[in-house]
């Protein structure tokens, strides 16, 4: 990885579908900025989600891509929110080096009643799970946080406090962009963006953590002793909080210029950006493997309803047709 000073890259055009790592050594801060353009537009257009659902899924995608970049993912990271709210399911599946896919399930009538609602109202109560799978020779890790009417930012902060015990501040923003074609027709597009900073001081005594309860698992009453009064961390959070949502999700403002605006007085260094893309991992073999797990009775019932077996991928909407007679012979 190479690094560049901010003045070296200020002239760069706004990034498309990439994560930019950065550091502010004077504040002991490391971070990531993500911009999702073409990839999130492909996902949202494929499913034609209502605007509130599109914004929420865009936030989830930006969050997942940033988290995956921060842990130097070599396998898969899956974010899954299951709730009792109008949007009952969010899934973002990120695979190294930079492929991701995303989907949502929702109640159209309930969403329509809450058109201008925030993420907390759309999600309601439930659970946010983060699963990290680094391959067959590594243990699979899964962390959970409760969703109680808060935002995805709130849930992410809770996750880092309880699971990683790293002081973290995250901002997410999704904007709808409207331009005009040569004929005057409105063209709608989306941009999902996020920025994450983490406090990683060189001196360990500046990051004192309270001992975990017996068993090493943080219960609901556990509160990590984060360095809220450390001058460097206080300043870093204050700078991030000056960001407006429309500024973070501005397609004309590159990640480099955004970071320069925030940290130029302290000196910010950026590293090689990681490109990401919308790419599904489904194929006929995988789908056929799922069908092979169905009982003969379940297959007969499905065939009786439509006369054939058709499976649609919830992520990419690709359709797979299978020979019912062949499936019955194999069952």
pLDDT value of residue 140: 85
pLDDT value of residue 188: 82
Q: What is the mean pLDDT of residues 175-204?
A: 85
pLDDT value of residue 307: 65
pLDDT tens digits for range 278-291: 999 999 888 877 77
Nearest-CA neighbor of 78 among 96, 56, 105? 96
pLDDT over 60 (residue 147): yes
pLDDT tens digits for range 293-316: 777 777 777 675 666 688 889 999
Confidence at 207, pLDDT banded by 50, 70, 90: low
Average pLDDT, rounded, for the chain: 84
pLDDT value of residue 285: 87
Q: What is the mean pLDDT of residues 68-77?
A: 85
pLDDT value of residue 306: 64
Nearest-CA neighbor of 37 among 257, 254, 190? 190
pLDDT over 60 (residue 1): no
Q: What is the mean pLDDT of residues 133-146?
A: 84
Confidence at 15, pLDDT banded by 50, 70, 90: low
Phi-psi region of 307 (alpha: psi -120 to 50; beta: other; left: phi over 0): left
Phi-psi region of 50 (alpha: psi -120 to 50; beta: other; left: phi over 0): beta
Place of tokens 């690709």: 318
Which letter, b or e, does each residue of 222-258 get, where b requires 16 or more Cβ atoms within 10 Å of its Cβ? eebebbeebebbebbbebbeebeeeebbbbebbbbbb
pLDDT value of residue 232: 93
pLDDT tens digits for range 223-278: 445 566 789 999 999 999 999 998 998 888 999 999 999 999 999 999 999 999 99
Name all domains of the chain by residue range, CATH numbers in brackets. Answer: 3-278 (3.55.30.10), 284-330 (3.90.1280.10)
- What residues pair up with 271 in beta bridges, in sequence order? 3
pLDDT over 80 (residue 148): yes
pLDDT over 80 (residue 214): no
Give the H/E segment covering residue 303: helix 296-306
Overall pTM surpassing 0.75 (yes/no)? yes
Cα–Cα distance for residue pair 196/240, rounded to 1 Å:
9
Confidence at 212, pLDDT banded by 50, 70, 90: very low
Cα–Cα distance for residue pair 150/146, rounded to 1 Å:
9
Cα–Cα distance for residue pair 257/317, rounded to 1 Å:
37
Q: What is the mean pLDDT of residues 144-150?
A: 91
Q: What is the mean pLDDT of residues 176-180?
A: 82
């Amino acid at each position: 990885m190479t690094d560049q000073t901010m003045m070296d890259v200020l002239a760069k055009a706004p990034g498309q579908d990439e994560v930019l790592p950065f550091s502010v050594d004077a504040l002991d801060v490391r971070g990531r900025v993500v911009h999702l353009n073409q990839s999130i537009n492909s996902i949202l257009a494929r499913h034609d989600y209502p605007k509130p659902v599109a914004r929420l899924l865009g936030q989830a995608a930006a969050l997942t891509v940033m988290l995956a970049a921060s842990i130097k993912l070599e396998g898969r990271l899956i974010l899954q929110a299951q709730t009792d709210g109008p949007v009952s399911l969010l899934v973002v599946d990120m695979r190294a080096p930079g492929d991701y896919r995303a989907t949502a399930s929702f109640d159209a009538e309930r969403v329509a009643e809450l058109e201008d609602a925030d993420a907390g109202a759309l999600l309601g109560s439930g659970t946010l799970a983060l699963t990290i799978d680094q391959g067959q020779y590594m243990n699979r890790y899964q962390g959970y946080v409760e969703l109680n009417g808060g935002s995805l930012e709130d849930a992410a902060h809770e996750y880092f406090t309880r699971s990683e015990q790293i002081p973290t501040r995250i901002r997410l923003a999704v904007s709808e962009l409207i331009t005009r074609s040569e004929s005057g027709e409105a063209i709608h597009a989306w941009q999902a963006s996020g920025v994450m900073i983490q406090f990683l001081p060189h001196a360990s005594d500046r990051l004192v953590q309270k001992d975990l309860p017996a068993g090493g698992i943080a219960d609901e009453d556990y509160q990590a002793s984060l360095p809220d009064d450390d001058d460097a961390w206080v300043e870093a959070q204050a700078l991030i909080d000056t960001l407006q949502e429309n500024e973070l999700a501005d397609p004309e403002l590159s990640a480099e210029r955004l970071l320069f605006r925030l940290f130029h007085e302290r000196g910010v260094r950026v590293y090689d950006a990681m490109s990401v893309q919308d790419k599904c991992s489904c194929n006929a073999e995988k789908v056929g493997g799922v069908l092979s797990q169905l009982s003969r009775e379940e297959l007969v019932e499905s065939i009786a309803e439509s006369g054939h077996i058709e499976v649609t991928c919830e992520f990419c909407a690709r359709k797979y047709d299978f020979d019912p007679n062949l499936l019955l012979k194999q069952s």
